[in-house]
């Protein structure tokens, strides 16, 4: 088994004078569900396009299954399924015709799986694609990427056109289908609640850089809110390292920190002459704090 499905070193992308991505280094072991989180325009789609070889980086490079992303051999391409943010469906075809055409291009195609999902997701297969709603087109695009049972499934904003209830069901079914110790899912979104439900690893893209990469649980342990209640007026400088945000008023301060070490709580309390309460944050709270 390979160590990393996806790997990047010093990856950067500049268009004209605008820096889109810079200094991206990452490794993604197989069998993980990774959520790529960032504001609109943060560089998520550009990162996926470079990793998949659709766009050449300005600096650095990346690999998929050990092969250079920009010169992938056919054998590696067959291991990948991709659902772009803007679909590339043929409007003149029916959904069924598009599925049959795509199936014919692959050596292996799980027809029972796709037929079952067409019914479960209520994807119209007899109507022309040009008449389908954005949500129906999104589901059809996902079926096209799933049919050959890829080892790496990449989805760019996979459920943005669905209502919250349909989005939850859709993402959960994708995870159940793709569940495997060797299969990897990489998807980007700006909907934080989607990630918290399904991803075990998180990449946060902020201003073109990776502000975080690692396990979701480790992120939640690393970024916390400290509620500090002083027995007297707190000092003007709290001297707390890795502060993300701080609101202080007399005897009370609320401080969000990253890279928190819980063993320092008692020392901080003694130094400040205060009670220090450590509060865990949701992924959405963490995302908001890191983007202040």
Q: Which fold does the domain 223-290 belong to in CATH?
A: Alpha-Beta Plaits (3.30.70)
User: Where do the structural domains in the chain lie, given as residue ranges?
Assistant: 6-215, 223-290
Decide: 9 and 61 in contact? Cβ < 8 Å. Answer: yes
Q: For the segment 214-230, what is each residue's pLDDT rounded down to a tens digit?
A: 999 999 999 999 999 99
| Alpha-carbon torsion (88, 89, 92, 93), positive or negative | positive
Dihedral, CA of residue 51, residue 52, residue 57 and residue 62, to nearest 10: 50
Q: What is the pTM of this model?
A: 0.87
In CATH, what number does 6-215 get?
3.40.50.300
Phi, psi (rounded to 5 degrees) for 178: -90, 0
Count CB neighbours of 236 within 10 A.
6
Count CB neighbours of 2 within 10 A.
12
Please give the share of the chain, as a percent, with pLDDT higher than 70.
98
d(CA 167, CA 240): 40
Q: What is the pLDDT of residue 182?
A: 74
* Runs of H (alpha helix) within the chain: 44-51, 74-77, 95-104, 111-120, 134-146, 164-178, 192-198, 216-222, 265-272, 283-290
Decide: 89 and 141 in contact? Cβ < 8 Å. Answer: yes
**Burial 204-226, CB ≥16 within 10 A → b, else e:** bbbebebbbbeebeebbebbbbb
* Residue that wins the pLDDT comparison between 199 and 129: 129
pLDDT confidence bin for 257, thresholds 50/70/90:
very high
Residue for token digits 């129906």? 136
């Amino acid at each position: 088994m390979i160590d990393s499905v996806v790997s990047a070193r010093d990856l950067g992308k500049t268009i004209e004078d605008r820096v889109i991505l810079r200094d991206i280094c990452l490794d993604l072991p197989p069998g993980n569900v990774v959520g790529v989180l960032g504001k609109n325009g943060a560089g998520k789609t550009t990162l996926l396009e470079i990793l998949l070889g659709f766009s050449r980086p300005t600096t650095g490079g990346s690999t998929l299954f050990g092969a250079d992303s920009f010169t992938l051999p056919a054998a590696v391409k067959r291991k990948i399924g991709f659902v772009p943010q803007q679909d590339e469906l043929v409007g003149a075809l029916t959904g069924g015709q598009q599925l049959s055409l795509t199936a014919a291009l692959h050596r292996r195609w799980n027809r029972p799986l796709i037929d079952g999902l067409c019914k479960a997701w209520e994807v119209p297969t007899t109507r022309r694609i040009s008449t389908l709603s954005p949500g129906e087109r999104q589901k059809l695009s996902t079926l096209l990427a799933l049919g050959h049972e890829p080892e790496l499934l990449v989805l760019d904003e996979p459920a943005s056109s669905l209502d919250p209830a349909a989005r939850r069901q859709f993402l959960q079914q994708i995870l159940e289908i793709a569940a495997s110790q060797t299969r990897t899912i990489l998807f980007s979104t700006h909907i934080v609640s989607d990630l918290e439900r399904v991803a075990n690893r998180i990449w946060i893209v902020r201003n073109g850089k990776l502000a975080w990469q690692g396990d979701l649980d480790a992120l939640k342990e690393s970024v916390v809110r400290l509620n500090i209640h002083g027995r007297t007026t707190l000092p003007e400088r709290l001297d707390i390292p890795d502060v993300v945000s701080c609101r202080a008023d007399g005897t009370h301060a609320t401080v969000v920190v990253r890279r928190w070490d819980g063993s320092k709580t008692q020392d901080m309390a003694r130094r400040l002459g205060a009670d220090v309460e450590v509060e865990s944050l949701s992924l959405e709270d963490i995302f908001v704090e890191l983007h202040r």
